[in-house]
Structure 1
Amino acid sequence: MRAPYACDPAASRGRRYPEGLSTFRSPFQRDRDRIIHSSAFRRLKHKTQVFVEHEGDYYRTRLTHSIEVAQVARTLAGVLGLDTDLAEAIALAHDLGHTPFGHTGEDALAELMAPYGGFDHNAQALRIVTRLERHYAEFDGLNLTWETLEGIAKHNGPLTGPLADPKHAGPLPYALAEVNAEWDLDLSTFASAEAQVAAIADDVAYSHHDLHDGLRSGLFDEDDLMGLPVTGPAFAEVDRLYPGLERMRRRHEALRRVFGRMVEDVIAVAKNRLEAAQPRSVDDIRAMEGTVIRFSKPLYQELKAIRAFLFQRMYRAPSVMRERARVTAVVRDLFPLFMARPDLLPDEWRADVARAGDETALARVVADYVAGMTDRFALQEHARLTGG
């Protein structure tokens, strides 16, 4: 049963380019399906989550991460009476704008694009779904509903106005500003509960799977996790219930308890906050001065301790930092090369180059191309073009 504060597909603000309704899919279902069938979504298969994609078959990629986020989002949305298709669509789209090599590639590209309006993967996701996917006869992009675009833009909170996170201070990324200028996404308010669900599902998914991938990589072991909040009690419970359990089963049993703890906490907090606020519409959710979908304060603090551990032992591990330096050099080499030699871009990008009237416009074309690369293609092109 849909809650009164849920987004109703029948009351959607529509699409930038009007289309007839489907006879068997809601507008939000169509958004989800278009995202799944997009080229950008398929490319996530070969993009880094933490470990560079080719380093091991068992590590998460951006694609497997996005699928896990969507699963959590759909579960949470269903329990809370929200539109599960919208929550899933936003979850599946949230990382479409990521560069090759994960946040390392994004940091490098953002530095290179600083003179040209900056680079942000959330804004780039909007650029992809409104401009760069070019498969339909009547429009560029996927022509998603306003609600899905809103969720992609501000699932992490308002981007302008007094409620915006201070880290968003300064001009909007150009990709976001362009979309918002064409269709106002109400950037000063919070997003729908469905978008908030997608955001917290991202936190749940990576908090769980980074532990799993870190263990598999050998950067730390189960004994290291015994002294941490959440993970320590989870392993202790497994040891009590299943003494002598084989290592991989023990690991799985403990980490699924960590996963369950996070999901149950979010549901309990959301129910309490919704009961207290009594929102009667999705606009009531947007008008609130904070999110309704969040971790409890105690669990949030415990997860901060886990993230601090992961930052030290995994994200900044010497082997990971060596790889970060290597792939940063790849992006730093490719961008100026294509700026100086746009004729090296594939034929299908030549029209965009021809329309680029100045250096800034050309830089944005080059950024679109480099950001869309997979890890392996970026490495292959770098070797081919530089001999390195």
Structure 2
Amino acid sequence: MQSPAYFRLRTPLAADPARSRGRLVAEPASPSRSEFQRDRDRIIHCSAFRRLAHKTQVFIPHDGDHYRTRLTHSLEVAQIARALARALGLDDDLAEAIALAHDLGHTPFGHAGEDALDDVMRPYGGFDHNAQTLRIVTKLERRYAAFNGLNLTFETLEGLVKHNGPLLQPDGSPVARYAKRGLPAALIEYNAISNLELGLFASAEAQAAALADDIAYNAHDIDDGLRAGLISIGDIAAVDYLRALGDEVETLHPGLEASRFIHELVRRLITHFIEDAIAESQCRIAETKVSSVEEVRALRAPLIGISPSTAAIERDVKAFLFEHLYRHPRLIRVRDQAALIIRNLFPHFMRSPRSMPAEWAEAGERIGADEGRRARLVCDYIAGMTDRYAASEHRRIFGDAPDLR
């Protein structure tokens, strides 16, 4: 018999595709798919999604084919988001669409590439991967005859922009992460065309996708770090909860080979976070008594989340990963080399936009002497590169490329 979570029973607070706020450019309804299913399918078939296969997740030296890329990470986030959404009676197609698209705006070389591109773009408004995702799905993807971008529904777009929470304080000022520099121009420009209600929360489905992202990368960074040999089983024992999970695996399966041990530990970690998130979110739903998407948006705190005890575990895991994996000397060296590629390519294309491929070079000629617009064009070009294409462009232009191994 199937478990109760299997059955797809939507609650009143679920986003209803039949009542979507629609698309910027009106389109006839599909006879076979809901509006959110169409969004998901458009995301899967867009070129930016395919490029995620060759973009770094956590930058691990390329001595194996089994580490996460942005694509495999996005697929894993989508699976967890669907599990959460189904268990909570939400629209799992919307949660999946947001999860699949949430990293489209990331640069090559993971956060090293993003930091480098943000630095060189500082005089021109900086770089923000969430804003870049919005640019991709509303402007840069050019597949359809009637519009640029993917013409996604309001609900998917607001989920991509606000899945981590509102971007504006109640008084209209930017939230903390944008307080110093203000909201990225791409968000302001699109919001002027179609109001994404930046001061409100996104749907419960978007919140489920955001939580799924945290669950996936914490667990899978441990997995990749262990398999790469950058951290050890002994290292992770410094986190009380991880040590307890390891003890449980050893008790049930004494002497298990390392690869199976790692998998058993990681799957238990993911299961704990998912089950805790379902229980905690159900409690919040009962306490707040929300009964519509509008009421979810109007709350002053997330509806979907984990319990305080599990949040403490998450903080411990994040602190461990930051100290022992993300700051590992091997990763730092490779990140520095990767950042150098971005720092070299950007000024070159700013000086010589004609050295970009024809479509981009022609766009540069149309821009003319407007340095700010040219910088954003170059930024769009570099941000869309895969790791290997960025390295290849560096070799083409400068004769060699930094060692990324």
Fold-level similarity (TM above 0.5): yes
Amino acid at match of 2:176: P
Is the Cα contact below 8 Å between 2:241 and 2:313 reproduced in 1?
yes
Deviations 1:308-332 (A, max 9, x none): 1111111111110100110111000
1:202 to 213, 223, 239: 213
Structure 1 residue 269 corresponds to structure 2 residue 280: yes
2:163 maps to 1:167: no
1:212-223 residue pairs with structure 2 within 5 A?
212-223=223-234
Give the equivalent residue in structure 1 for 2:389: 377
Aligned Cα root-mean-square deviation (Å):
1.2
* Deviation for aligned residue 1:45: 0.2
TM-score if structure 1 supplies the norm length? 0.98
CA 1:132–1:188 in structure 2 vs 1: closer, same or farther (change >3 Å)?
A: same
State whether structure 2 residue 386 is matched by structure 1 residue 366. no
Q: One-letter code of the match for 1:166?
A: A
Mapped contact 1:229–1:306 kept (Cα < 8 A): no
Q: Distance in 1 between matches of 2:388 and 2:239?
A: 35
Question: By how many angstroms is 1:53 displaced?
Answer: 7.6
Structure 2 CA distance for partners of 1:229 and 1:165, relative to 1, 3 Å:
farther
Q: Name the aligned partner's letter for residue 296 of structure 2.
A: I
Measured in 2, the distance between the counterparts of 1:242 and 1:200 equals 31
* Partner SS, residue 230 of structure 1: helix
Letter paired with 1:167: R
Question: What is the deviation of 1:52?
Answer: 5.0
* 1:253 aligned partner: 264
Structure 2 unaligned spans of 5+: 1-8, 401-405
SS in 1 for 2:13: coil
How far is 1:84 from its partner? 0.5
Q: How many residues align?
A: 388
CA contact (8 A) 1:5 1:280 kept: yes
Q: Residue 150 of structure 1: which of 145, 158, 162 is its match? A: 158
CA–CA distance in 2 between the matches of 1:229 and 1:191? 34
Q: Is the 8 A contact 1:51 1:59 kept in 2?
A: no
Identity %: 56
User: C-alpha distance in 2, partners of 1:243/1:57?
Assistant: 29
Matched, 1:288 2:288: no
Q: Name which of 242, 249, 252 aligns with 1:231.
A: 242
The Cα of 1:172 is off from its aligned counterpart by 1.0
- Give me the whole-angstrom Cα distance separating, in 1, the residues matched to 2:36 and 2:100: 12
Does the aligned pair in 1 maintain the 2:227–2:259 contact within 8 Å? no
Q: What letter corresponds to residue 214 of structure 1 in structure 2?
A: G
Deviation string, structure 1 residues 84-123 (Cα, Å, up to 9, x no partner): 0000000000000000001110001111111111110010
Equivalence map 1:102-121=2 (5 Å): 102-121=110-129
Select 2:92's aligned residue among 64, 84, 89: 84
Provide the C-alpha distance between the structure 2 equivalents of 1:81 and 1:238, rounded to a whole number of angstroms.
Answer: 32
1:355, distance to aligned residue in structure 2 (A):
3.1
The residue aligned with 1:181 is 192
Q: What's the CA shift for 1:229?
A: 2.6
Structure 1: tracts of 5 or more residues without a match: none
Q: Distance in 2 between matches of 1:367 and 1:193?
A: 32
The residue that corresponds to 1:28 in the other structure is 36
CA distance 1:196–1:380, change in 2 (3 Å): same
Please give the alpha-carbon distance, in whole angstroms, between the structure 2 residues aligned to 1:58 and 1:303.
25
Q: C-alpha distance in 2, partners of 1:133/1:209?
A: 29
Equivalent of 1:133 in 105, 119, 141: 141
Larger mean Cα displacement after TM superposition, 356-365 or 324-333: 356-365
Task: Look up the match of 1:62.
Answer: 70
Contact 1:118 1:174 survives alignment (8 Å)? no
Q: Which runs of 4+ in 1 moved over 6 A?
A: none
Residue 5 in 1 paired to residue 16 in 2?
A: no
The AA in structure 1 aligned to 2:196 is L
Q: 1:87 & 1:337 partners in 2: Cα distance?
A: 40
SS state at 2:121 partner: helix
The one-letter amino acid paired with 2:252 is L
Counterpart-to-counterpart distance in 1, 2:88 and 2:248: 29
> Structure 1: which amino acid aligns with 2:323?
Q
